[in-house]
Structure 1
């Protein structure tokens, strides 16, 4: 019985396989179908992740710092239209090989990521403007860059009375994971010149940093006549600057001047360090703006910049963003009385030449101290 039953079952099974060949492939078909479904799911997840990453990159606003573009215009949009100093080329190269810490999305973000009202001051020196300064020098600098701050304090930042006018120098910092908070507090107790806000201090977040500077001037130092945003690697001939601002005909309102950038194209090549996506800035070129190494403005403008920025989508070129604010205000940056005084790089030091300019970009803090010491020694510079 058992053998017959077994044979019967075996013959029946053979018959089913012969009569229904489709059933033989059914398990294999199901396996392939499940595999294809899984593959589609994986592809979908990867696409979504990449899309989210791209969105996050744009919303977090961690992008390029353009200040050191100089100055050979190129018709090729995939090439930067400026010469880059070797020091800054090294820094810019690092941007492509390192990952910056993500910007923390402010709670209850208003307008956009770069709007300064999203951030709060955590270290301040509001009393410095009680003396109604003629000029306030605002220096964006990394929290860890003590050497740059000390060099400025020994040189042009040490000048509190220039050509009979009160001048104040302040350093603007964000927050950094590697910064020693206690040391910063001690530094501020000693010098009373640090202002710190709670945005992430990144080389790529300078538009946020610049707008926070404007917000501080608009809310904490309204009585100043003029202000200057000046980079921490700059030689600044403060005497020449104050002399320029006291010349007849220099406007006291709606005035922005510096090294003018005119008809600068927007770089669309993704491999470029100066790439700006069309989603952030759709126009093919920037409005006229002043190069971010150091620009001077009447102190009525910061409040206007903050207000008009509510309706201007932020993009990563901070000095061009200020130019966009000017355009939306119906204003245009002015050429300096003597444009040759706002210089970019200089390959070598010349005492006579440095006595005539207002700005130069330098390579190091010791270089600033050496040049300043030589410029201020007794005797005519030329």
Structure 2
């Protein structure tokens, strides 16, 4: 009897206590939720922050490039302390934070260094004073000159070609944008006579398309030479800006060309940006680009533009060269870390639709002394992955391949070639011998398999 009474009392106690325990847990949960919501909604100054993110896409670097999975961060976002180990890293860190849409929304941005807005002269506020003085004066002269001028990126045109892409109703299939210097007349003349022909050009096997040519130059001397003026009047293919044409200013040519293209030649479907000592099999390149358009059409239809197309000799896992005698030398006090994946600057092809995007993102990336690395930095921030193609040889053939009689019939671009070699190779590849007539382009078989599917 006592045992039954005990069980009865336990059941009554359980029935009474259980709802109380559940209500207590619910109260604790609601209290914690409200505290967290208030902590995230109200900053220290008491102003309410909208829970909605600002318009625009925010991309965080993560551990995966899969299109099926979102990347997740390896390290915590937005460290409060800036990395002052290297000058470029420091000023770019500030730039990235001040253009970060989430930090803009939360107001969690340091305004100590306002280096994110171009003034009316086309310059960011000068930040050379942020460099440690003792380090600055120990650097090579070209580094010192770059630091002094790197905050400016708008320079007037001394010679322009405003009607280059408007001479015919047909949009150019390919614009050849060739980096040159005023003294390199022989290189420019050899290009005009060979692979840089401007006009309708037939492909090696395909229909080809309209090609336009322009040479990108800066000043060598303070006075503009009469020779370059006459050359421009004769050939209508010179663009010259009012800045000193040095090796570390090649990055300026990219940025200024992107701006020029967006205003003067935005209807061009593709751009070849290369040096004036490369040889290009232009007819074969036109065939390759025609096939790329067919592949794109097959995958995406007419609606989607080729906004992410970049192809060339792609360099990965590269580090800055620290040997002072090398022209690519970058001191550790200026830049620290690996370079992003980038296309070799000797010759790269990208879609015309990508150029406005490159121009836009370049306004959020500080200039860097090595031009092809800078392009890689911009592509990285756009999330564009360049295509590595073995027919782009920015480092020339290896010793064994160079001995092959038909080696130049298997490539699209090779670096470096003299004006005399350009003339010889153009004749040989335009009318191939019986031995080389059926030679296929490197990597061509794989592309044909995709097209036939």
Secondary structure of the 1:125 match is: coil
Partner Cα distance (2:394, 2:179) in 1? 19
Q: What does residue 61 of structure 1 align with?
A: 146
Given the alignment, which residue of 162, 179, 182 partners 1:140?
Answer: 179
For residue 49 of structure 1, report the CA deviation from its aligned partner. Answer: 8.4
Given the alignment, which residue of 141, 152, 164 partners 1:128?
Answer: 164
For residue 370 of structure 1, report the CA deviation from its aligned partner. Answer: 1.6
Structure 1 unaligned blocks of 5 or more: 1-46, 63-102, 106-110
Partner Cα distance (1:205, 1:325) in 2? 17
TM-score scaled by length of structure 1: 0.67
Superposed, which structure 2 residues align to 1:250-329 within 5 Å? Answer: 250=296, 252-283=306-337, 285-329=338-382
For residue 378 of structure 1, report the CA deviation from its aligned partner. Answer: 6.5
For residue 375 of structure 1, report the CA deviation from its aligned partner. Answer: 2.6
Q: What does residue 355 of structure 1 align with?
A: 409
Q: Which has the higher contact order (CA 8 A, sep 6+)?
A: 1
Q: What does residue 366 of structure 1 align with?
A: 420
Task: Call closer, same or farther: CA 1:237–1:375 in 2, change over 3 Å.
Answer: same
Given the alignment, which residue of 144, 155, 158 partners 2:197?
Answer: 158
Partner Cα distance (2:340, 2:413) in 1? 23
**Does structure 2 conserve the Cα–Cα contact (< 8 Å) formed by 1:176 and 1:200?**
yes
Task: Call closer, same or farther: CA 1:174–1:271 in 2, change over 3 Å.
Answer: closer
For residue 341 of structure 1, report the CA deviation from its aligned partner. Answer: 4.8
For residue 226 of structure 1, report the CA deviation from its aligned partner. Answer: 0.8
Partner Cα distance (1:200, 1:161) in 2? 34
The C-alpha deviation readout for 1:235-267, integer Å capped at 9, x for no partner, is 100011111111132472221110110111222
Structure 2 unaligned blocks of 5 or more: 1-131, 297-304, 438-453
Secondary structure of the 1:126 match is: coil
The C-alpha deviation readout for 1:43-83, integer Å capped at 9, x for no partner, is xxxx9688457598546328xxxxxxxxxxxxxxxxxxxxx
The C-alpha deviation readout for 1:145-177, integer Å capped at 9, x for no partner, is 100000001101125223331011110111111
**Does structure 1 conserve the Cα–Cα contact (< 8 Å) formed by 2:344 and 2:394?**
no
TM-score scaled by length of structure 2: 0.57
Partner Cα distance (2:377, 2:368) in 1? 10
Partner Cα distance (2:183, 2:357) in 1? 31
Partner Cα distance (1:161, 1:349) in 2? 34
Given the alignment, which residue of 221, 225, 242 partners 1:181?
Answer: 225
Task: Call closer, same or farther: CA 1:249–1:179 in 2, change over 3 Å.
Answer: farther
The C-alpha deviation readout for 1:331-382, integer Å capped at 9, x for no partner, is 221233xx24546314657552212210111341111112212333475434
Task: Call closer, same or farther: CA 1:344–1:58 in 2, change over 3 Å.
Answer: closer
Task: Call closer, same or farther: CA 1:194–1:379 in 2, change over 3 Å.
Answer: same
**Does structure 1 conserve the Cα–Cα contact (< 8 Å) formed by 2:342 and 2:375?**
yes
Q: What does residue 199 of structure 1 align with?
A: 243
**Does structure 1 conserve the Cα–Cα contact (< 8 Å) formed by 2:314 and 2:342?**
yes
**Does structure 1 conserve the Cα–Cα contact (< 8 Å) formed by 2:178 and 2:276?**
yes
Q: What does residue 344 of structure 1 align with?
A: 395
Partner Cα distance (1:275, 1:133) in 2? 38
Q: Which range moves more in the overlay, 242-251 or 292-301?
A: 242-251
For residue 208 of structure 1, report the CA deviation from its aligned partner. Answer: 1.4
Q: What does residue 119 of structure 1 align with?
A: 155
Please report the RMSD computed on the Cα atoms of aligned residues, expressed in angstroms: 2.8
Q: What does residue 273 of structure 2 align with?
A: 229
Secondary structure of the 2:246 match is: coil
Superposed, which structure 2 residues align to 1:43-54 within 5 Å? Answer: 51=136, 54=139
**Does structure 2 conserve the Cα–Cα contact (< 8 Å) formed by 1:343 and 1:358?**
no
Q: What does residue 172 of structure 1 align with?
A: 216
**Does structure 1 conserve the Cα–Cα contact (< 8 Å) formed by 2:254 and 2:371?**
yes
Partner Cα distance (1:307, 1:140) in 2? 21
Secondary structure of the 2:331 match is: coil
For residue 277 of structure 1, report the CA deviation from its aligned partner. Answer: 2.8
Q: What does residue 249 of structure 1 align with?
A: 295
**Does structure 1 conserve the Cα–Cα contact (< 8 Å) formed by 2:164 and 2:264?**
no
Partner Cα distance (1:276, 1:56) in 2? 12
Aligned residues, how many? 284
